[in-house]
Amino acid sequence: MKYLLSLILAFVFSGFVQAAYISIWRGEVEVKKAGADKWERVLRGEKTMLASGDELRTARASTVEVLMDDGSKVKMAPLSAFKMTENNEAASLQLYFGRVRSWVKKFTKKFEVRTPSAVCAVRGTDFTVSADAEGNTKVEVYEGSVLAGDSSGATGLITQGQFTEIPKGGKMKEPHNNPNPPGNLNTSIGDAKALARREIYNEMSKEDVLASAQAEIQSAEYQNRKVAIDAFGNRVRMEEYIVRPAEDQFKYVVLNTRAARFDFGKILFTFNNALPSDLSLATKNMISAYGSTRPEWELTEINSIMSNTLDKMTEDASGGKMVPDDAGSPTVWTHFFSNYAVYAYGWQEGDNPAAVPNGGMGTMLWSFNDSNSDNTVQGGEISYLGPSGPCVTAPTGGVTSPSGDDVFHTITRNTYSDGTWISAEDYVLFDNGKILSTGDLASTLGSNMDKVTDKLNFERIYTSSLFGGRKIDLEYSAKLLKDAGLLRF
């Protein structure tokens, strides 16, 4: 949960936590018991009791109902998560994201539900609370009433048949009649694309990354697992896959496990249209295309992260489109982003994850905005990190080839005007750790290019003055990128 504002829905009934248990569920539901480090899958045939400090989450196409002995019930929608807490006077649901509907039968104990953006008190028995990926809250009342308030303390009464919306950090809207009947909560709230974007930037711990991977890989369209040697002679267990969070998106994920470290990377691609069943039909023309007709699929957004679970490098791009070489008689189309930014974050002892700037992305290193909409990059449209914020002073540095110009090993280093520096070291290497050379391209690959490239990997290493002596070190294969049409030879 990245925002600290809270919604409190207060009403009373007895024995909520002591007698709460999972009664019905479908799909993939996980519980993390209070004090535990790992999420555990809820299994058929087991009666899972819930106590103070326990957390629940649902995957896509998954729901769960929590039942209390007084007949009260809470139902979670897909892609939702909450934490239960309890003391002598109150029980709580801390809704991180997603949607829950509650039916309350008795009023003998205070009950609270927390979301990222507002404060409320419930005076009814049937209502739904939603928290979207941006931290906004929606409250719908089907029976009774709810006294709702925003983070400034302003309040309003929502009565039966009404709803209100409370934006993150904003003022609660006036309650209105709800034109929609109560939903069955069998679908996730809002925009699945926004949830996927939120996960890219904010899911950092090894446990959560692995838990997501375990759930997603079952429906992965492309997968690749292998053990390879990195540029420093270390064995790396690589696991990669591609899934589709929404009909117009796909996400590439790579996990690296070494003896003493864990690194991961994720890239979320969003397009202008629903993607075809054969993903390569869209990716083959993603960067450039030839012909007089605009490509059917245009890449509109990219959200990416590389991390060692403490530090991270992120990229955020939007306004993507294909630009013709000649608007009147096009022959070549080239991809162009109207907005692009790169961020870095270095963890320090005591850091609050919710306080990471720019929505969890980190400190902006540089950004571009096509302010005059001419589909070209001009110097005045680029901002860089400076001592007092964004500035026009470009970083110093450049690209070197420490192993020689004929070896695929480069280092790019930039030092910004405030003294912050970032270094990206890149290798292309075989599974056995040998770094690729131009001689290999001529003698080893040759006509056997397709087969040999399946044994090639890329490795990128980030170091920075922000990282406290740590590094981000990620190795990924050419094979999976080739299979998905992202890499062509």
- Which residue ranges does the chain devote to CATH 2.60.120.1440? 11-177
Q: Does residue 200 or residue 463 have the better pLDDT?
A: 463
DSSP 448: G
Q: How far apart are CA 236 and CA 443, in angstroms?
A: 27
pLDDT of residue 8: 29
Burial class (CB in 10 A: 0-12, 13-18, 19+), 271: buried
Three-class DSSP category at 488: coil
Residue that is written with structure tokens 């009950």 in the block = 111
Q: How far apart are CA 6 and CA 119, in angstroms?
A: 6
> 394-398, 445-449, 484-488 — which is least confidently predicted?
445-449
**Identity at 360, one-letter amino acid code:** G
pLDDT of residue 170: 84
DSSP strand pairing (299-307 vs 312-324): antiparallel
Give 317-352 as a 3 state SS string: EEEEEEEECCCCCCCEEEEEEEEEEEEEECCCCCCC
Burial class (CB in 10 A: 0-12, 13-18, 19+), 121: middle
Q: Does residue 20 or residue 31 have the better pLDDT?
A: 31
User: Above 80 in pLDDT, residue 360?
Assistant: yes
pLDDT digits (tens, 9 = 90+) for 306-335: 999 999 999 999 999 999 999 999 999 999
30-37 average pLDDT score = 89
28-52 average pLDDT score = 85
- For residue 235, the cross-strand partners are 229
Name the band, by pLDDT with cuts 50, 70 and 90, for residue 191. Answer: low
Question: Assign residue 53 a region: left if phi > 0, alpha if psi is -120 to 50, beta otherwise?
Answer: left
CA dihedral 87, 92, 96, 102 (to 10 degrees): 160
pLDDT of residue 184: 67
Q: CA dist 288 to 40, 295, 318, 419, Å?
A: 44, 9, 17, 37
375-399 average pLDDT score = 92
Q: How far is CA 80 from the centre of its chain?
A: 14
pLDDT of residue 105: 60
Q: How far apart are CA 258 and CA 227, in angstroms?
A: 10
pLDDT of residue 7: 32
DSSP 110: E
User: Above 60 in pLDDT, residue 342?
Assistant: yes
pLDDT of residue 108: 53
Selection from 169, 75, 193, 87 nearest residue 127 by Cα: 75
pLDDT of residue 70: 55
User: Above 70 in pLDDT, residue 71?
Assistant: no
pLDDT of residue 363: 94
pLDDT digits (tens, 9 = 90+) for 216-247: 776 788 888 999 999 999 999 999 999 888 88
pLDDT of residue 106: 52
> 48-57, 294-303, 444-453 — which is least confidently predicted?
444-453
DSSP 182: P
User: Above 80 in pLDDT, residue 192?
Assistant: no
User: Above 90 in pLDDT, residue 80?
Assistant: no
Q: How far apart are CA 250 and CA 244, in angstroms?
A: 4
User: Above 80 in pLDDT, residue 87?
Assistant: no
What average pLDDT does the chain have? 83
Class of domain 11-177 (CATH, top level): mainly beta
pLDDT of residue 4: 28
pLDDT of residue 115: 80
pLDDT of residue 3: 31
Q: How far apart are CA 277 and CA 281, in angstroms?
A: 9
pLDDT digits (tens, 9 = 90+) for 430-478: 999 999 998 877 666 555 666 677 889 999 999 999 999 999 999 999 8
Q: How far apart are CA 440 and CA 64, in angstroms?
A: 55
- List the structure tokens of 257: 């496990």
pLDDT of residue 18: 46
pLDDT of residue 25: 85
User: Above 70 in pLDDT, residue 89?
Assistant: no
- List the structure tokens of 140: 């719908």
pLDDT of residue 148: 79
